[in-house]
Amino acid sequence: MSTNKMWGGRFQSGPADIMREITPSIDFDKRLWAEDLAGSRAHIRMLASEGIVPRGDAETILKGLAQIEAEITGGQFAFKRELEDIHLNIEARLAELIGPVAGKLHTARSRNDQVATDFRLWVRGACDRADQGLRALQQALFAQAEKHVETIMPGFTHMQPAQPITFGHHLLAYVEMFGRDRGRFTDAKARMNESPLGAAALAGTSFPIDRDATALAMGFARPMRNSMDAISARDFALEYLAACAIAATNLSRLAGELVQWSTPAFGFVRLSDAFTTGSSIMPQKRNPDAAELVRGKTGRVLGDFVALATVIKGLVLTYGTDLQEDKERVFDAADTIELCLAAMAAMVADLTADPAKMRAAAEPGFPTATDLADWVVRVLKKPFREAHHIAGSIVSRAESQGVTLDKLPLAEMQAVEPGITGEVFAVLSLDASVHSRMSLGGTAPARIKEQIRYWRERLV
């Protein structure tokens, strides 16, 4: 059993067989190859600029890195588990290509700041991809909302019909929600956009490096100020996972509504064959599997956050191999959230609404009872609590007669409150109720059109 050449000077014998199974991370961290090459290029150029490495050697190293990139993109690079991770795999191949000069690339650098840099670069890109996915979903929701500014549907509280709203208003609520999700990824990206490179193992380096130059070369805003923090910090990954978890939770809410709305009992929307499946035994079934899977995968993303938080919570500064567990959790969450966002955007764009079913569902349950109470306050000058009691009593009479409020005879209302006049019927229809909700953010079509104009400018 031979020793690892990277640290063979200290160790006289090789690792136990089980170490060859538990130690390697190349199976998953090979996804960091592009970030590893970017960090190495920035580092060797800085070393040459500062006179730490001869420019000729730096050019040789850069040519070797270019060949490695071509091999990876062309599918010809051999990733070796015995070399443990992406960093050593690239370094070993570089040595094969250009000889001992490859070793100069590691001057003033440790695997600790190397992996921290690579990972930040990758997660920064993941924030951008999540933002793009959320924007596409917002655009799909917006397009549907624009078509349904005046499509009346029931609004629910406690899953009971509460007040009439419009489908456009409901969809724009999700546009707002996913806008906040985008803000979380934007904020996370801004906070993580500092370079750990140059922190070396944990204490910095005695070489006269230019950390500002390498940070700028990789698109970071600045170097991290403390070398120990640079090596040990994984809160950037936790913050990304937290943003993923919240976005997944919001996706789950929308997915749940699509599942509900597409049932025959509701019939508010129809999902095409592209996003539904059948049953192995019941030929009539049309199952909203895509929406159910989005809803189900939320637990997976939440688990990724909890798993990494559990790994980090007891770690002393600075580096421990425990942190090798960070990448799989982040990669899994990224793959999951990006897939769910794409699926949800496609589903929303695909759905067909049924305005007649929505309106019919908005009729039962006396959804304009609040409009009646408001009329009593506004016209009869009653305190709202008294008006609430009056409206409740009138609802009881309508319920006992099996009619909606706008079909209840005026005499029945006057038996409860003599001051009520025929003018009250002007506020008791679904359309009147919806159009009256003119407060900022309300469901009145005029207000929804304002929201449409607001979002059209931001989603182009």
> Strand locations in 242-314, DSSP E?
269-270
Residue with tokens 């003018």: 423
Q: Give the span between the Cα atoms of 460 and 67, in whole angstroms.
A: 40
419 is written with which tokens? 């001051």
Q: Give 104-127 as a DSSP string.
A: GGGTT--HHHHHHHHHHHHHHHHH
Query: CA–CA separation, 272 vs 455, rounded Å?
Result: 27
Distance CA 239, CA 33 (A): 23
Q: Which of 13, 158, 206, 400 is catalytic?
A: 158
- Residue 57 CA to residue 55 CA, distance in Å, equals 5
Six token digits for residue 228: 């120990």
Whether omega before 310 lies within 30 degrees of 0, making that bond cis, reads no
The Cα–Cα gap between 148 and 144 comes to 7
User: Cα–Cα distance between 85 and 103 in angstroms, integer?
Assistant: 17
Closest CA to 325 of 336, 314, 338: 314
- Tell me the CA end-to-end span of the chain in Å, nearest whole number: 61
- 158 is known as an active-site residue: yes
Tell me whether residue 279 is one of the annotated catalytic residues: yes
Query: Which tokens sit at 237?
Result: 């990954």
DSSP for 142-208, please give it.
HHHHHHTTT-EEEEEETTEEEEEEEHHHHHHHHHHHHHHHHHHHHHHHHHH-EE-TT-TTTT--SS-
Q: Which residue in 272, 279, 393, 396 is the catalytic one?
A: 279
Quick count: other Cβ atoms within 10 Å of Cβ 81?
A: 14
122 HSE (CA, 13 A, CB side): 26
Q: How big is the chain, counted in residues?
A: 460
Report the alpha-carbon angle 338-41-213, nearest 5. 95
**Separation between Cα atoms, residue 421 and residue 426, nearest integer Å:** 11
Active site residues: 158, 279
